[in-house]
Amino acid sequence: MREVVLVYLDRSGGLQKFVHDCKKYNDSKQSYAVYRFIISINPSDIAELDATLGNYILHNPLQAAQIFQSVCFVAIKTLSLIEQLQTEAQISILLKPTHLPPLPSYVLSLSTYPFNYTSQRFYMSEGIVIAMGTVTKYTQGARFLCTEETCPFSEGFRCIRVHCPGATESATVRTDFVCSLCSSPLQEDMKFRVLGDKQIVEMIDAKILNALKGYSTDKSHFRIQAFTLFLR
Number of domains in the chain: 2
- Predicted TM-score (pTM) of the model is 0.85
User: pLDDT-based confidence at 39, cuts 50/70/90?
Assistant: very high
Which stretch of DSSP H or E encloses residue 210?
Answer: helix 208-212
> CATH number of the domain that 78 lies in?
3.30.1640
Which stretch of DSSP H or E encloses residue 73?
Answer: helix 61-79
Asked if the structure places residue 75 within a domain, the reply is: yes
| Structural domain ending residue among the three candidates 100, 126, 145 | 100
Asked if the structure places residue 34 within a domain, the reply is: yes
Asked if the structure places residue 119 within a domain, the reply is: no
Report the half-sphere exposure of 200 (CA within 13 A, side-chain side): 8
Which stretch of DSSP H or E encloses residue 231?
Answer: strand 227-231
What mean pLDDT value characterizes the chain?
Answer: 89
Residues 144 and 50 in one domain: no
Asked if the structure places residue 13 within a domain, the reply is: yes
Report the half-sphere exposure of 46 (CA within 13 A, side-chain side): 27
- Per the structure, the complete domain to which residue 174 belongs is given by 137-196
**Residue 55 phi/psi, 5° resolution?**
-70, -35
Both ends of the chain: CA-CA distance in Å? 28
Say whether pLDDT at 212 is over 90.
no
